[in-house]
Amino acid sequence: MVATTRAREVGGWRPMLYGWGRREQGSVPAKPGIYTIFVDNIPLLMNPNGLYELFKKFGVVRDVFIPNKTRKTTRSRFGFVKYDCSVAAKMAIQKANGVWCDDKALRVKFAEFAKYTYAGRGMGQFVEGRKGNRRAE
């Protein structure tokens, strides 16, 4: 615990934790200083490394994510790119929106996150696999 506290004081890396109950809400970033952009119409052959290479020229890329899903309406792949700087995110949106990659034009905009709901389960509860409800700690 001392090492992580000292790393935060010195300005070292802080771990990003993903899990149940940690959702970004609204169009304002969940953590100050993180700007997420939504990239739509990604070609089938592009992987996260290719997306990183495409967007790193606009600024320091913090994270790249392409889920294994497609949009229902257009049957296109999508992904997310995170930046630390709002200027870099705005520049990426301006310059990369409409860029042709393979045979598709990329559509780039700021990500809009919907409010996460617990779907009738009490606050502090979540479902883990098929084991049933467990209390969040």
Q: How many domains does the chain have?
A: 1
What is the pLDDT at residue 40? 92
**Residue 62 located in a structural domain:** yes
What is the pLDDT at residue 29? 45
**Residue 27 located in a structural domain:** yes
Looking at the DSSP assignment, which residues form a beta bridge with residue 37? 81, 110
CA 91 to chain centre: 17
**Residue 88 located in a structural domain:** yes
What is the pLDDT at residue 61? 94
What is the pLDDT at residue 120? 53
**Residue 128 located in a structural domain:** no
**Residue 10 located in a structural domain:** no
Q: Per-residue pLDDT tens for 22-45?
A: 444 444 445 567 899 999 999 988
Element (H, E) at 116: none
What is the pLDDT at residue 14? 55
Q: Which of 59, 60, 115, 62 is CA-nearest to residue 91?
A: 59
**Residue 49 located in a structural domain:** yes
**Domain boundaries, position 39:** 23-110
Ranges of residues in the chain with a pLDDT under 70 are: 1-32, 115-137
What is the pLDDT at residue 91? 95
The three-state secondary structure class of 50 is: helix
Element (H, E) at 101: strand 100-101
**Residue 61 located in a structural domain:** yes
What is the pLDDT at residue 121? 53
Q: Which of 107, 105, 108, 135 is CA-nearest to residue 123?
A: 135
**Residue 53 located in a structural domain:** yes
User: What CA–CA distance (Å, rounded) separates 60 from 24?
Assistant: 21
CATH code assigned at 67:
3.30.70.330
